[in-house]
Structure 1
Amino acid sequence: MPAAAVDKRQRIMQIREVMTVLFLAVMGWKDWKKKEISLLLTGTYGIIGLAFSIYAERPLEDWLLPFGVSLMILAVSVLTDGEIGMGDGWIFLALGTMLHTEMYVRMACIGMLIAAVYAGVLLVICKKGRKTEIPLVPFLLFGYLGGLLL
């Protein structure tokens, strides 16, 4: 592959990483402080992710797992009357348009693990109840950053 093509791919990856960190940081802050997400920002990020993926000629099979996971989260949100926030499903869907499957799964697993540890601390040490709501998006940010370091 020519050096110019490699440089172009690296720049695209760097832009994608910075955009994802900024998106997750802003949405994580909103989720933590206000218990809400911005559908406008999520949709914009998802459309940009879609454009990046089309431009990079991302194969169709690389879209399937993120899309399926996102639909499951949205379905669980509907079936449980919001026990899992609908916004979390939209965030996962937007992230699925931007991230390759490997990074998507890595981010989700690390983020969910950190969220589970946090929930355990709230239950055991802080004596919070099982119904205590915790925001997911900040943990996805930590999962994404952790995934970048692995």
Structure 2
Amino acid sequence: MKFHYAFQKIVDLKSNEKTQAEWMLSSAIGKLQAEEKSLNELYEMRDQMYRAQQEAASRCVPVAEIRNIQVYAEHLEECIERKRDDIRIAHVNVTKKQKVLSDKMLDEKVWLKARDKSQEKFRHESLLREQNELDEMATVRFAIRAR
């Protein structure tokens, strides 16, 4: 006799939910990494602008050009601040997705544990039935030999 768990579809559903939560977390981490990379690029661009501004000042470049470089550097600073906010939001999102995954993993574990207990109970009952059948066969043989 084969073991059949009545709630196997629920176990499968919980497993699928956990897998989905893993994908969502992976996606959130990917977005966070993209935001951090973008921030690093903004830092590099800002540093290039400051170096260009210093070079322009030392080479007697017109003030208007130095001012344009300064305005662009200030714009980059604003972009950096917005990107920092985006990174904070991405961190919060990653934390939320980690919590969801943790909950899904716990839920799946509960259902797997219930299935394992049910399977162990089935195995125990099967062994008892088999032992009872063997005992009955032995009793019948003994009764036949006793006649």
TM-score by structure 2 length?
0.28
Specify which structure has the bigger relative contact order, considering alpha-carbon pairs within 8 angstroms and separated by 6 or more residues. Answer: 2
Greater share of residues in helix: 2
Q: Greater CA radius of gyration, 1 or 2?
A: 2
